[in-house]
């Protein structure tokens, strides 16, 4: 399959998913204004998608993640996580430039070069040991920096929490992630699957921190942290900077029930 055909197909899938979200969200019952969360006018629809994601997680993703964690030594899991984090550095560099942050772009570029070479393909986060660290950036954050409003909260099938603005940035984020350009379909899909399983395995010990209504907890926490990321911390301290609440954006994307 040619690269252009494959990338066009990926973009097409994303667009179909977005159309389905908008159409179904518009048809969903939203209750009275007093009952609706101000950031979640499509809550009825979002809860249905959330329930679907939970079923997928319960019977497919979580068992695989448990098996992966059981058979994979901790140093190997750390190396896998470092490898995929390193692949995100080019995306951070590009979006930092688009946001007018050349310093952060330089840090991301340096991290990628150091970890790819000295860190053996990114398996070892040598740059952090050298105290070379910066902020992660994606196209959703870039749109926010450009003044685009976040829009309503959305729960996407399989992908989890998002907003209209962040959902619109997904195609660009996909095109700026290096595995998109792996020619071998089996290798590309294998890397994607490993990345998802590794993220999910990292959540197994953290789910017990969720209290009360699971949907509301994840929604409110995700929105709070996402706004912190988009504003570069100008809205206050990171609400999840402590060890007790050590979640990140990808964590909430896959935080489903037992």
- pLDDT tens for 100-151 read 999 999 999 999 999 999 999 999 999 999 999 999 999 999 999 999 999 9
Q: Which residue has the tokens 């603005």?
A: 165
Report yes or no on 205 lying in a domain: yes
CA distance 110 to 127: 8
Segments forming the whole domain that contains residue 180: 3-88+135-253
Report yes or no on 227 lying in a domain: yes
Task: Kindly report, residue by residue over 27-41, the tens digit of the pLDDT.
Answer: 444 445 556 789 999
Q: How far is CA 29 from CA 39, 46, 150, 165, in A?
A: 15, 11, 21, 22
Number of domains in the chain: 1
Report yes or no on 222 lying in a domain: yes
Q: Which residue has the tokens 């190396």?
A: 79
Threshold 0.85, pTM exceeds: no
Report yes or no on 121 lying in a domain: no
- If 0-12 CB within 10 Å is exposed, 13-18 middle and 19+ buried, where does residue 187 land? exposed
Report yes or no on 194 lying in a domain: yes
Report yes or no on 97 lying in a domain: no
Q: Can you give the pLDDT at residue 69?
A: 95
Report yes or no on 106 lying in a domain: no
Report yes or no on 130 lying in a domain: no
């Amino acid at each position: 399959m040619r690269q252009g055909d494959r990338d066009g197909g990926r973009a097409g899938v994303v667009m179909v998913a977005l159309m389905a979200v908008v159409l179904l969200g518009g048809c969903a019952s939203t209750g009275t204004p007093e009952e609706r969360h101000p950031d979640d006018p499509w809550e009825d629809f979002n809860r249905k998608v959330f329930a679907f994601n939970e079923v997928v997680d319960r019977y497919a993703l979580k068992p695989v993640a448990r098996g992966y964690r059981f058979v994979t030594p901790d140093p190997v899991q750390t190396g896998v996580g470092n490898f995929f984090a390193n692949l995100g550095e080019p995306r951070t560099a590009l979006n930092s430039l688009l946001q007018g942050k050349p310093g952060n772009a330089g840090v991301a570029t340096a991290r990628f070069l150091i970890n790819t070479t000295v860190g053996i393909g990114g398996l070892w986060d040598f740059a952090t040991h050298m105290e070379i660290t910066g902020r992660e950036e994606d196209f959703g954050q870039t749109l926010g920096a450009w003044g685009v409003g976040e829009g309503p909260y959305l729960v996407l099938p399989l992908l989890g929490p998002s907003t209209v603005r962040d959902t619109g940035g997904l195609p660009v984020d996909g095109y700026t992630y290096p595995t998109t350009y792996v020619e071998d379909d089996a290798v590309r899909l294998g890397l994607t699957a490993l990345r998802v399983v590794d993220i999910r395995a990292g959540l197994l010990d953290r789910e017990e921190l969720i209290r009360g209504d699971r949907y509301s907890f994840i929604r409110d926490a995700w929105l709070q942290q996402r706004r912190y990321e988009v504003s570069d911390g100008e809205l206050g301290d990171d609400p999840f900077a402590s060890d007790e609440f050590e979640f990140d954006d990808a964590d909430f994307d896959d935080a489903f029930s037992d």
